[in-house]
Chains A and B, each alone.
Chain A
């Protein structure tokens, strides 16, 4: 059952991300990305990471992508406005990057031992367990991330304010 679900959602994730890259229409591409996020969240659920799955949906599918769609709709560009020349360079760079990523992935798979994973703790993936980890073992990265986000917010406000003034 779990394995079938994994294959279904993995296939949907791969298919929709491929469709996202291939699509010319920006809104369809964005919706395909939403579907990718959704299937990734489902894969997280299959890995018992419920909190992560919900946050994935809430932040990426629910907030970030709605903002993307908002901008796409706001600009409402026509086809020829979207792809200004030099397309072949982009294609070559894209293919090269894809090959590089695939090579890296192969190396990663080869390095992974083919043994069964360790059994999980009873509270694995719960909100309480993740909260404890974030505020003990990973406190420094957590705080640094929040400072980084704060800096980004201040930067965005400064940039937008200059435009308005």
Chain B
């Protein structure tokens, strides 16, 4: 029993530490990548003993700055809710990562450990349930600040998050139908199989992006809208609303909104990697070793090495997806509010329903 508890604590520690640091690092990535894309030099200051390390110490400087700044609460603001809002924005984002598997099972000290904090039967629904609570952080921040810009930002955010949550959920129904489970470990494991064509193994892995390509694009669009980043950043549109719902925040609380946004990016990347890119799976690398494509040759490898390679593969996929989100964020201009609503309800929602219908049809046809 104490052994199990230790394993659980180690897993929570590992995920928390990795996600927190990845999110912190994203503050630097965002500036550096935007600079590269706009032909600027970007973050290159904050030296420690003259070493700048291409500006990698900037997140550290940011944190020190935020800790020492004055924590300002507007005079007529609702103090309790104003303090609660940033917590509500950041805690659900972290919690959602609890059901995302970051590796296959691992045998340690005679015990088989599944590399996921909580392997829930409801799986991905848990992520949705928790992420939907993050809307309160934004809405309350907008309302409690006693500022019209904040209120407008909060209103826009609540309408947008509510609309795109529906699209996000419905899009994934096709994925559930294909893999026959809501459990994220089961979905990731099923993606290790190969397509068979007329009884012949094609050696193409059954990754979600190949079985559900439409769902991938719809989910990615809805997920970016859910994290309220450009082109869906009307809630904090700096050219119209100063900073939207977090206009009246400073110091640590401001940093918490910032962290919440970056953690959400990491969670979305982890979710997309698990649902559409095979999770920890590396093509042709099975539990017993590397299967050379188109042959029956199996190169046996130690189990521990395969598991660790899987963990590495998962985080690599996460980082590639983060890069993709950053590129989208710095490429596209902002949508208008009415365009966002029209796109969510009149384009993405019908498309996701059509995706469910077509998926059902294909499953029915392939059955016989």
Contacts and interface: CB of A to CB of B under 8 A. Distances in A.
Contacts of A50: 120-122
A31 B155 contact: no
Contact of B162 (A27, A34, A67, A126): A67
24 contacts: A25-B78, A34-B136, A38-B133, A54-B122, A55-B125, A57-B130, A57-B132, A58-B125, A58-B132, A62-B128, A62-B132, A62-B165, A63-B162, A66-B139, A66-B161, A66-B162, A69-B139, A69-B143, A70-B162, A73-B155, A74-B155, A76-B151, A126-B121, A127-B182
Nearest to B139: A69
B165 A63 contact: yes
A104 B120 CA distance: 37
**Dominant SS among interface residues on chain A:** helix
Contacts of B356: none
Contacts of A27: 78, 81, 140, 143-144
A38 B129 CA distance: 10
Contacts of A66: 132, 135-136, 139, 158, 161-162
B101 interface: no
Interface residues of B, number: 29
Interface in B141-158: 142-144, 151, 154-155, 158
A28 interface: yes
A57 to B, nearest CB: 4
A61 interface: yes
Contacts of B140: 27, 31, 69
A3 B159 CA distance: 39
A51 interface: yes
Interface string A76-120: 100000000000000000000000000000000000000000000
A58 B162 CA distance: 11
Nearest to B80: A28
Interface in A117-154: 126-127
B48 to A, nearest CB: 43
Nearest to B151: A73
B126 interface: yes
Contacts of A127: 121-122, 125, 182
A76 B147 CA distance: 12
A58 B121 CA distance: 16
Contact of B135 (A54, A62, A73): A62
A38 B135 CA distance: 15
A59 to B, nearest CB: 9
A73 B154 contact: yes
Given A62-B165, A127-B182, A73 B129 contact: no
A63 B165 CA distance: 9
A70 B159 contact: yes
B355 to A, nearest CB: 20
Interface in A27-64: 27-28, 31, 34, 38, 50-51, 54-55, 57-58, 61-63
A54 B125 contact: yes
